Amino acid sequence: MSELISNTEYKSAMSLRDTERGIKFIKDFFQDNLAQALNLQRVSAPLFLRKGSGVNDDLNGIEAKAAFKIKDDGYSDVECLFSLAKWKRMVLADYGFEQGEGLYTDMNAIRPDEECLDNLHSIYVDQWDWERVMSREERNLDFLKMIVRKIYDVLKKTEAAVDAKYPQIKPMLPDEITFVHSEDLLDMYPDLCPRERENRITEKHGAVFVIGIGGELKDSTTHDGRAPDYDDWTTPTGEGRIGLNGDILLWYPLLNRAIEISSMGIRVDAEAMLRQLEIRGAPERKDMPWHKRLIADELPLSVGGGIGQSRLCMYFLRKLHVGEVHASVWPEDMTQKCKEAGIMLL
């Protein structure tokens, strides 16, 4: 069911044409600086993949994919992307990327099973997918935090650049990002659900990286779902805790809630993947082509993630609805509500 958070005091600081200019400015600036910070090369990415290859991201394993058949290929089945989490790692191997090098690309996905279309959620997803080769010695929490800090530095630079170009938009990111484990959040706020825990901690600190998403917590729940075959959410860290992955969250006063800007992490090795496939009751995936390559040590160890392009533009341009920074299809009642609230959807 669609929901809309309205704000009677909201009025866009920019016209539609200025918004479009701002979107391009932010995307160009951020991706150039991200590539420099993480030593990434831009590559081309597909919009759809063959069904059954095991390369597409399965999210939580229950969401339906947009799919169609190719007439001139014997009516073979293909499916639109959810994300490029596994595809990127395959490209690192096939293109010959070495340790400390990586790639980024524009990822455009369709998620028709999105359950709640609202200010932040759309059936259309656009993000920068990135992936970087790492060594086995770097598979630890300290290395993950180092990468997160590099990304956060790029966010800070982007905010400063937006402030210089659009003085009506004032900076609000804190100087540093705060790290917190999902197990600590459970201890801190045992009576709250995971989303409310995120809101509470992010409002306090402004920018937070929540560590350990997908693994089982001590109350037998998970902070949020993760597929079993890309992020490593079961490996014990040096602190004896689950998870070498996490989410970057920013506090957004216009919506009075935290916004997830990035989901990322150190990727599974063969051992972690097989363990997580068993946990999720999907051991048969190990026989898919992509999974066989990982087991055969044909894919490099890597760290990677996705960074939401529209959410980033929404945050930096101080927009109330993601439809103000990307074009999608919305329920008729939401379109009408946005019109009445003065929200100009693209």
| pLDDT (tens digit per residue) in 241-273 | 889 999 999 999 999 999 999 999 999 999 999
Q: What is the predicted pLDDT for the residue at 113?
A: 67
Q: Identify the DSSP state of 216.
A: B
Q: How confident is the model over 266-300, as pLDDT tens digits?
A: 999 999 999 999 999 999 999 988 899 999 999 99
Q: How far is CA 104 from the centre of its chain?
A: 13
Question: Domains of the chain: which residue ranges?
Answer: 16-340
pLDDT for 29 equals: 97
CA 143 and chain centroid, separation: 19
Q: What is the pLDDT of residue 219?
A: 87
Catalytic residue numbers read 57, 111, 127, 247, 260, 263
Q: Where are the beta strands (DSSP E) in the chain?
A: 40-42, 48-50, 67-70, 76-80, 102-110, 124-133, 178-181, 207-211, 245-252, 257-266, 302-308
Residue 55 is predicted with a pLDDT of 73
Neighbours of 292 (CB within 10 A): 12
168: left (phi over 0), alpha (psi -120 to 50) or beta: alpha
- pLDDT per residue over 214-227, tens digit each? 988 888 888 988 88
* 113/92: higher pLDDT: 92
Cβ pair 190, 220 in contact under 8 A? no
313 in Cβ contact with 27 (< 8 Å): yes
What is residue 27's three-state secondary structure?
A: helix
Give the pLDDT score at 57: 65
CA dist 223 and 225 (Å) reads 7
Least Cα distance to 43 among 79, 86, 91 occurs for 91
CATH fold for the domain made of 16-340: BirA Bifunctional Protein; domain 2 (3.30.930)
Residue of 199 and 83 predicted with greater confidence = 199
Whether 305 and 123 have beta carbons less than 8 Å apart is answered as: no
**Rounded to the nearest 5°, which phi and psi values hold at 13?**
-80, 0
What does the pLDDT look like over 168-196, one tens digit per residue?
899 999 999 999 999 999 999 999 999 99
User: Could you identify the residue written with the tokens 């966010």?
Assistant: 155
CA angle 80, 106, 92 (to 5 degrees): 90
Buried-state track 150-162, b at ≥16 Cβ within 10 A, e below 16: ebbebbbebbebb
Q: In the structure, what pLDDT confidence band is assigned to residue 156 with cuts at 50, 70 and 90? A: very high
Phi, psi of 210 (to 5 degrees): -90, 120
Q: How far apart are CA 293 and CA 203, in angstroms?
A: 43
Could you tell me if 210 and 198 are in contact, meaning their C-beta atoms sit under 8 angstroms apart?
yes
Contact 171, 155 (CB under 8 A): no
Spatial separation of the C-alpha atoms in residues 267 and 200, rounded to whole Å: 28
Strand partners, 133: 302
Selected residue with higher pLDDT from 55 and 104:
104
Three-class secondary structure of residue 148 per DSSP:
helix
* Percent of the chain predicted with pLDDT > 70: 93
> CA 30, CA 37: separation in Å to the nearest integer?
10
| CA 259 to mean position of chain CA atoms | 11
148 vs 14, higher pLDDT = 148
Please give the pLDDT value at position 165: 94
Report d(CA 197, CA 193) in Å as an integer: 6
Per-residue pLDDT, 70: 77
Question: In the structure encoding, which two tokens stand for residue 294, read together?
Answer: 């990982």
- Please state whether beta strands 207-211 and 245-252 pair in parallel, antiparallel, or not at all (unpaired): antiparallel
Distances from the Cα of 17 to the Cα of 29, 339, 342, angstroms: 19, 18, 16
Summarize pLDDT for 31-87 with one digit per residue, the tens: 999 999 999 999 998 888 777 666 766 655 556 777 778 787 777 787 877 778 888
